Amino acid sequence: MVKSPYYLTTPIYYVNDAPHIGHAYTSLACDVLARFLRLDGHTVFFLTGTDEHGQKVEKSASSSGKNPQEFVDEISERFRDLTKLMNFSNDDFIRTTEQRHIIACQELWRRIAANKSPKGRENIYLDTYGGWYSVRDEAFYSESELIIDSEGVRQAPSGALVEWVEEPSYFFRLSDWRDELMAYYRTSTEGIILPESRHNEVVSFVEGELYDLSISRTSFNWGVPVPGDDAHIMYVWLDALANYITAVGFPQENNEKFQTFWPANLHMVGKDILRFHTVYWPAFLMAAGLKPAKRVFAHGWWTNEGQKISKSLGNVIDPNEIVARYGLDQVRYFLMREVPFGNDGDFSHRAMVSRINGELANDFGNLAQRVLSMIGKYCNSVVPTPGELKQSDQELINLAEKLIVKVRKNIVEYHTFHEALSVIWEFVRHSNAYVAEQEPWALSKNDLPRMETVLYLAYEAIRHLAIICQPFMPESCHKMLDQLGVDSEFRQFVDLKWGRKPIAGLTLPPPEPIFPRLEKNI
């Protein structure tokens, strides 16, 4: 059966900073989802990339003595390296300085300008902008949104400094799009904006005062020129958001890629950039006559040992360092397991070691190592043939077969990755308890047929686990499936059926531990 295509995107990363663990997080969640959907038979397009224009980047380039292009080339490469380091399976890596993107942005602008707003007015008009702007957030704020600190300095809600900006600017008539936005949020019963608390946040913003949005700047140059008026460059967020349609071939909407993948199924974002994705972006798209995305999910933020992660605090977690220290799949597992997806969470070395030792080494690693060693020792490394089944065997089989249904719901419908892992681990623990209760080592002395049944069932439980955990820990699961003698063409979710392939009789290689225990003081 051909399953529906799926397009998912991560926010494209600002190139003014080096990648840190928070950046890796958004893309990791997408990677798990992308791998899951592919194993489940879907055609997936998974996009990531870099956001390279704007005042912040221009300033960072000039303070490091480089021209902006040279500067963005260098940092963009570091984000590309991050995708390799983290083993992300993205299908494209877009850069907003690419020609294909500049063409798409300008065409998007032209279409918005050519259409009328729902109230029959120009969607884009020229005026003068006077207001507060934060270069760090690349966002405009109204006076009422600002916080005044103890020294009387104005700050954005994020804590970033703001400056007064006054310049000619094109405006987007956002205020005319309220009804269309509200109608859009109601187009899916499962929710366009998730989690629900974020939906409520957006709805109350849109129901409040929706101001027209300044969408061009004249006081610096590093951006996409406004079509027909070279004195202006586009607001970096309009430029950046358009990457999602550039990558599927816009403005060639009749091509197969655009037809297959637009509207995107999911924009995965951090909570800080929710408004851009759920208010501005759908309004731009509707104004251009295009459909908005089917869903936006906003996840929470990581702190480091209780503190906000920031360059100035010097507590940025370098993904290279933690991957070298703990192992890639261990880091991937921890990030997806530790915190309910959608909530904020805290990174601590203690929590990392505890999850790795408790859940990967003790629970999963031990199960595989013990069972495969017993097959080596008592069965001459040959997968045994099962005999008659008892009730406890049948129970294990039922649980294994139900696992994918629950995991699919959590990953694909709710994006509760932590819950998916928790459901999987219930089965890991059940399998461990099964082996402990059945005592195949004792059966090896007095009941060989029963021992063979038990070891076959335990082998099957591990095969199910190794297949289902692939999206989270691809390399480790591939190694485990190699040790189980499972050919690469039998590692899809359709293979999650008891005894799917007649494996009894297969000779296995000597088992090697896949999730070693860490020393406490690592």
CA angle 365, 404, 440 (to 5 degrees): 40
Stretch that binds ligand MSP, among 22-30, 81-89, 182-190, 400-408 (CB under 6 A): 22-30
Stretch that binds ligand MSP, among 9-17, 141-149, 490-498, 501-509 (CB under 6 A): 9-17
Q: Is 302 in the site for ligand MSP (CB under 6 A)?
A: yes
One-letter amino acid identity for 246? T
In whole angstroms, how close is the CB of 345 to ligand MSP at the nearest point?
8
CA angle 359, 364, 368 (to 5 degrees): 160
Q: Is 241 in the site for ligand MSP (CB under 6 A)?
A: yes
Pick between residue 22 and residue 223 the one whose CB is nearest to ligand MSP: 22
| Count of all residues that appear for the chain in the document | 522
Q: Is 249 in the site for ligand MSP (CB under 6 A)?
A: no
Q: Is 269 in the site for ligand MSP (CB under 6 A)?
A: yes
Stretch that binds ligand MSP, among 220-228, 240-248, 282-290, 383-391 (CB under 6 A): 240-248
Beta-carbon count within 10 A of 164 CB:
9
Q: Is 301 in the site for ligand MSP (CB under 6 A)?
A: yes
- Interface residue with ligand MSP, options 240, 286, 375, 481 (CB under 6 A): 240
Stretch that binds ligand MSP, among 107-115, 155-163, 212-220, 235-243 (CB under 6 A): 235-243
Q: Name the closest residue to ligand MSP (Cβ).
A: 270
What whole-number distance in Å separates Cα of residue 486 and Cα of residue 482? Answer: 6
What whole-number distance in Å separates Cα of residue 418 and Cα of residue 415? Answer: 9
The continuous run of DSSP H or E covering 109 comes out as helix 99-114
What is the SS3 string spanning 360-373? Answer: HHHHHHHHHHHHHH
Binding characters for ligand MSP, 40-59, by CB under 6 A (x = yes): -----------x--------
- Interface residue with ligand MSP, options 11, 319, 365, 386 (CB under 6 A): 11
CA 499 to chain centre: 33
Q: What is the DSSP letter of 501?
A: S
Pick between residue 26 and residue 134 the one whose CB is nearest to ligand MSP: 26
In whole angstroms, how close is the CB of 424 to ligand MSP at the nearest point?
23
- Interface residue with ligand MSP, options 92, 253, 272, 363 (CB under 6 A): 272
Stretch that binds ligand MSP, among 5-13, 382-390, 413-421, 488-496 (CB under 6 A): 5-13
What whole-number distance in Å separates Cα of residue 311 and Cα of residue 68? Answer: 21
What whole-number distance in Å separates Cα of residue 228 and Cα of residue 146? Answer: 35
- Interface residue with ligand MSP, options 8, 12, 367, 403 (CB under 6 A): 12
Nearest CA to 119 among 235, 251, 210?
210
Stretch that binds ligand MSP, among 85-93, 107-115, 236-244, 438-446 (CB under 6 A): 236-244
| Tokens found for residue 328 | 């890639």
Q: Is 25 in the site for ligand MSP (CB under 6 A)?
A: yes
Residue 74 CB partners (closer than 8 Å, separation 6+): 66
In whole angstroms, how close is the CB of 307 to ligand MSP at the nearest point?
11
Pick between residue 245 and residue 514 the one whose CB is nearest to ligand MSP: 245
CB 460 within 8 A of CB 498: yes
CA angle 14, 292, 29 (to 5 degrees): 50
CB 45 within 8 A of CB 71: no
Q: Is 309 in the site for ligand MSP (CB under 6 A)?
A: yes
Stretch that binds ligand MSP, among 11-19, 32-40, 162-170, 504-512 (CB under 6 A): 11-19
What whole-number distance in Å separates Cα of residue 140 and Cα of residue 160? Answer: 12
Strands 163-172 and 124-134, bridge-based pairing: antiparallel
Pick between residue 23 and residue 370 the one whose CB is nearest to ligand MSP: 23
Nearest CA to 397 among 411, 384, 386, 381?
386
Contact residues: ligand MSP, CB under 6 A: 11-14, 22-23, 25-26, 51, 240-241, 243, 269-270, 272-273, 301-302, 309
